[in-house]
């Protein structure tokens, strides 16, 4: 009798456990779904952040054109990333992920594949971030239709292929390259393409002018809307919590908390670094440099955010903030490449710096990889290999892409249109109808 009771009790206990085994599994999946949803939409709103920063830091006569480019790179990017980009990045070759490229999962159609849908949604916003970085560097002079062509290629091909090497199971991933949320995968790819785009396109009219004594005078074109630019920076910072935080990919990960702290402190330190650097160099606390300093801190901490301490994140961000001011000056005054919003300084220079920082301060649980934690030079070496490989890939492919567009479509608007402003010449509408605006060339 007692045995029977025991057996019955046990049956229910066992059934209960089985039931909760399944339910608990479902809950974890649901939690990660919500976590990636929150992360993805935060990264999505970074599109607004980029649009506002770029608009605010350029001239009023090109404002409509800039926000149109920013809207369109997301829209075209989403479609092509669904069609082929995802397949190149996360597809496989045969049964294994390819070393250099994925070749499956194109035009993914089935309705009932929640984990594909969840992962695609989280990844498409990263692809769009890489693509949109470039628009700032090419602002105020690129043809709208050429920009549409460019953006399809970066989202369909350039970004996914180097992304495959690192996040898709390719050769850099095999080497142990560490880039938690994309200092290299996303930001330096966008930054390289931005630099090449600005280079192939050439400077805006009046930017570098030969003076009678043979020297070249460098003119600054101040932005037309600082509050909008600042709102853009804060929206980017806000979205970056999703960018870095949700890159745990797992809603159950306690690393989320650390990532939030390091992201916050690095961004704060980057802002302060750029503030004081600009204050010393230019004798004023410069607004656009400070804003770029915040972004510099964020880009710098993107690779190492999960594997460094709060104190290290302050140092990494601070150096990023100092670097960005020096890089803006160097690219503008020495290289004489006209990048109107400093996109290559923020995303390329600090993207590289953040990737290097992993090799210096990295301290993964259970195994120290950073130089300062006794990890030696091996991780640092791997980081440099990744930086160089992704740089070479992106530099070459985007150089070829922009050169072909230039040769076939022209790439740049004609000088008359550029002087008139792209809002009128490209879209036949002013951004600020009714406002008295000086033509400030």
Q: At its nearest, how many Å lie between its own copies and the CB of residue 45? A: 5
Nearer to its own copies, 100 or 432 (CB): 432
**What are the backbone angles phi and psi of residue 186, rounded to the nearest 5°?**
-100, -60
Given 154, 158, 186, 230, the residue binding its own copies (CB under 8 A): 230
How far, in Å, CA of 292 to CA of 237, rounded? Answer: 11
**What are the backbone angles phi and psi of residue 339, rounded to the nearest 5°?**
-110, 95
Q: At its nearest, how many Å lie between its own copies and the CB of residue 284? A: 5
Q: At its nearest, how many Å lie between its own copies and the CB of residue 79? A: 5
Nearer to its own copies, 176 or 310 (CB): 310
Given 161, 189, 201, 294, the residue binding its own copies (CB under 8 A): 294
31 binds its own copies (CB under 8 A): yes
374 binds its own copies (CB under 8 A): no
410 binds its own copies (CB under 8 A): no
409 binds its own copies (CB under 8 A): no
Q: At its nearest, how many Å lie between its own copies and the CB of residue 18? A: 8
383 binds its own copies (CB under 8 A): no
1 binds its own copies (CB under 8 A): no
How far, in Å, CA of 54 to CA of 186, rounded? Answer: 18
Given 102, 168, 197, 223, the residue binding its own copies (CB under 8 A): 223
Tokens of residue 223, six digits: 């932005």
3-state secondary structure of 209: strand
User: Which H/E stretch holds residue 193?
Assistant: helix 189-201
Tokens of residue 292, six digits: 């770029």
27 binds its own copies (CB under 8 A): yes
Q: At its nearest, how many Å lie between its own copies and the CB of residue 389? A: 29
- Pairing of β 367-368 and β 363-364: antiparallel
- Cβ atoms of 421 and 62 closer than 8 Å: yes
- Distances, alpha carbon 313 to alpha carbons 164, 258, 262, 316, 317, in Å: 27, 10, 5, 5, 6
Nearer to its own copies, 33 or 335 (CB): 33
Give residues 312-331 in contact with its own copies (rule: CB under 8 A).
314
Nearer to its own copies, 278 or 394 (CB): 278
Gyration radius (Cα) of the chain, Å: 24
Site map 327..366 versus its own copies, x via CB under 8 A: ------------------------------------x-x-
Nearer to its own copies, 94 or 109 (CB): 109
Nearer to its own copies, 96 or 111 (CB): 111
3-state secondary structure of 367: strand
Query: To 10 degrees, what angle do helices 350-361 and 310-329 make?
Result: 150
Question: How many other CB atoms are found less than 10 A from the CB of residue 206?
Answer: 12
CA torsion sign, 166 to 146 to 400 to 419?
A: negative
235 binds its own copies (CB under 8 A): yes
């Amino acid at each position: 009798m007692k045995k029977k009771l025991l057996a019955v009790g046990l049956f229910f206990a066992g059934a209960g456990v089985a039931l909760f085994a399944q339910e608990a599994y479902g809950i974890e999946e649901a939690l990660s779904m919500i976590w990636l949803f929150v992360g993805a939409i935060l990264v999505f709103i970074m599109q607004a952040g980029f649009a506002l920063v770029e608009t605010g830091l350029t001239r009023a006569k090109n404002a409509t054109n800039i926000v149109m480019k920013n809207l369109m790179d997301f829209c075209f990017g989403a479609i092509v990333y669904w069609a082929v980009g995802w397949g190149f990045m996360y597809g496989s070759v045969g049964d294994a992920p390819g070393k250099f490229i994925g070749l499956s999962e194109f035009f993914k159609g089935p309705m009932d594949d929640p984990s594909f849908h969840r992962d695609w949604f989280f990844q498409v916003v990263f692809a769009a971030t890489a693509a949109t970085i470039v628009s700032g560097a090419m602002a105020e002079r690129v043809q709208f239709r050429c920009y549409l062509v460019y953006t399809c290629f970066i989202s369909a091909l350039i970004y996914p292929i180097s992304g495959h090497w690192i996040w898709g199971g390719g050769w850099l991933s095999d080497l142990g390259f560490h880039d938690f949320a994309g200092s290299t995968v996303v930001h330096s790819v966008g930054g390289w393409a931005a630099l090449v785009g600005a280079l192939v396109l050439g400077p805006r009219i009046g930017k570098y002018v030969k003076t009678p004594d043979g020297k070249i005078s460098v003119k600054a074109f101040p932005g037309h809307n600082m509050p909008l630019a600042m709102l853009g920076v804060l929206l980017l910072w806000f979205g970056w919590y999703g960018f870095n935080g949700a890159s745990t990919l797992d809603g159950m990960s306690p690393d989320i908390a650390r990532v939030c702290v390091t992201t916050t402190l690095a961004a704060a330190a980057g802002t302060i670094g750029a503030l004081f650097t600009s204050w010393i160099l230019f004798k004023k606390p410069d607004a656009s440099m400070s804003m770029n300093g915040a972004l510099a801190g964020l880009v710098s901490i993107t690779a190492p955010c999960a594997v460094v301490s709060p104190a290290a994140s302050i140092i990494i961000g601070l150096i990023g903030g100092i670097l960005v001011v020096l890089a803006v000056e160097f690219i503008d005054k020495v290289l004489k490449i006209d990048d109107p919003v400093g996109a290559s300084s923020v995303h390329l220079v600090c993207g590289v710096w953040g990737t290097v920082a992993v090799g210096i301060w990295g301290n993964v649980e259970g195994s120290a990889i950073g130089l300062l934690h006794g990890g030696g030079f091996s991780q640092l070496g791997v980081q440099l290999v990744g930086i160089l490989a992704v740089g070479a890939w992106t530099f070459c492919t985007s150089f070829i892409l922009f050169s072909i567009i230039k040769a076939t479509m022209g790439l740049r608007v004609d000088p008359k249109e550029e002087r008139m402003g792209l809002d009128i010449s490209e879209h036949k509408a002013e951004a600020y109808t009714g406002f008295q605006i000086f033509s400030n060339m």
